[in-house]
Amino acid sequence: MSTLLEVNNLKKYFKTAKGMLHAVDDVTFKIDKGKTLGVVGESGCGKSTLGRTIIQLHEPTEGQVIFEGKEITNMTKREFDSVRPQMQMIFQDPYSSINPRMSVAQIISEPLIIYKRFNNNKDMIKEVAKLMDTVGLASRLANSYPHELDGGRRQRIGVARALSLNPKFIVCDEPVSALDVSIQAQILNLMQDLQDERNLTYLFITHDLSVVKHISDHILVMYLGNMVEFASSEDMFKSRLHPYTKALLAAVPIPELGAKKERKLLKGEIASPINPKPGCRFAARCDFARDLCYEKQPEFKEVHEKHFVACQYVKEINNI
């Protein structure tokens, strides 16, 4: 299996009045072609910033992003122009991520016009019709405006627009969070079908753990800009090792009777990402925290095969 995207020690800091905000701090991973990496974490953990930094919507503070063997982080704007169409994004809110003054056909054709993919209008209209069909939008909607459509259909427009340039890699930033479950299932199925047909690679950002389990091959858990745990989806749900991942999964309400387990509540709340203190960023909320946790930042290391955890006491906590 060949690697499509490689991220090495990626950092993104923002300057704020109160100090440096460490949104993404030292993130490293690889995604193979045709696979899905799910990124999970709570609000403010840096998952959206990570997605945006990877496709160069933010300039990284440090680190590399390598796409198909070429480093894109040091490319000039002109060089990057040829890579950009291959990396697209689907946004969370189908209400604010599409222009309300453009018709469905105009929204989907805009990338095609910008990248001058067609020199005659007829071919382009054909292509738009094909894209609409692919994502399950009826052709009669071509001249409708977004406000006439429901959330599910709007998100289909977002998907069609992302697909229009035939990308290899799509960052999906909470694409189904604003949708009702019955519609969410329709969109998730659509995205899986598209992945199978076109061999697409996804970076799937979400806070919904049941969705991430369903769609991902690998899962990365983030906390305050740091990587906390990385494993295959199966491994992660069978044996999670980091105390934060454990608490996160235990907090999810399960729609089954008798599923109620001894709920271990995580105390406190996520700390500020501005000028974080040294040491483990989760320490203040962790039941197992000891002095060392407050002094030294834990290394992100392989505990089992292809199962990485950032915790000094991971072996003791899990009796390995």
Partner 1 sequence: MDNKLLEIKNLSVQYITSDSVVKAVNNISLTIGRGESLGLVGETGAGKTTTALSIMQLIPNPPGKIVNGEIILENVDLIKSSKKELTKIRGNKISMIFQDPMTSLNPVITIGEQIAEVIRLHNKLSKAKANIKAVEMLELVGISEERFTDYPHQLSGGMKQRVVIAIALACRPELIIADEPTTALDVTIQAQVLDLMEKLKKDLNTSLLLITHDLGVVAEVCDKAAIMYSGEIVEYGTLEHIYRNTKHPYTIGLFDSIPKFSENVKRLKPIKGLMPDPSNLPDGCNFASRCPYKIEKCTKGDIPVFEVEEGHFVKCIKYDSKEGV
**Residues in the site for partner 1, rule: CB under 8 A?**
42-43, 150-152, 180-186, 188-189, 192, 207, 209-211, 213-215, 237, 247-248, 250-257, 259-260, 263, 265-266, 269-270
3-class secondary structure, 240: coil
Contact (Cβ atoms closer than 8 angstroms) between residue 28 and residue 10: yes
CB 282 to partner 1: min, Å:
11
- Our CB check for partner 1 shows the closer of 101 and 260 to be 260
Report in angstroms how near the CB of residue 81 gets to partner 1 at its nearest. Answer: 37
- The H-assigned helical ranges of 135-202 are 151-163, 181-198
Of 69 and 258, which CB lies nearer to partner 1 in the complex structure?
258
Pull the structure tokens for residue 112: 């095609």
**What residues have CB less than 8 Å from 120, skipping those under 6 apart?**
none
Kindly state the smallest distance separating residue 171's Cβ from partner 1, in Å: 20
Chain length of the chain? 320
Of 138 and 320, nearer to partner 1 (C-beta) is: 138
Alpha-carbon gap, residue 228 to 251, rounded angstroms = 17
Nearest to partner 1 of 233, 312 (CB atom): 233
**10: which strand partners?**
27
Contacts of 84 by beta carbon, 8 Å cutoff, 6+ apart:
55, 56
Comparison of 182 and 319: residue with beta carbon closer to partner 1: 182
User: How far is the CA of 284 from the CAs of 114, 271, 295, in angstroms?
Assistant: 49, 9, 12
Distance from C-alpha of 187 to C-alpha of 205, rounded to nearest angstrom: 15
Task: Specify whether the CB–CB gap between 54 and 117 falls below 8 A.
Answer: no
Taking phi first (over 0 means left), then psi (-120 to 50 degrees means alpha), and beta for anything else, what does residue 185 get? alpha
DSSP 139: G
- By beta-carbon proximity to partner 1, the closer residue of 45 and 128 is 45
- Minimum Å gap between C-beta 63 and partner 1 is 27
Min CB(75)–partner 1 separation in Å: 36
Q: How far is the CB of 304 from partner 1 (least distance, A)?
A: 20
Q: Report the nearest approach of partner 1 to the CB of residue 78 (Å).
A: 41
CB atoms within 10 A of CB 98: 21
Q: Which is nearer to partner 1, 209 or 311 (CB)?
A: 209
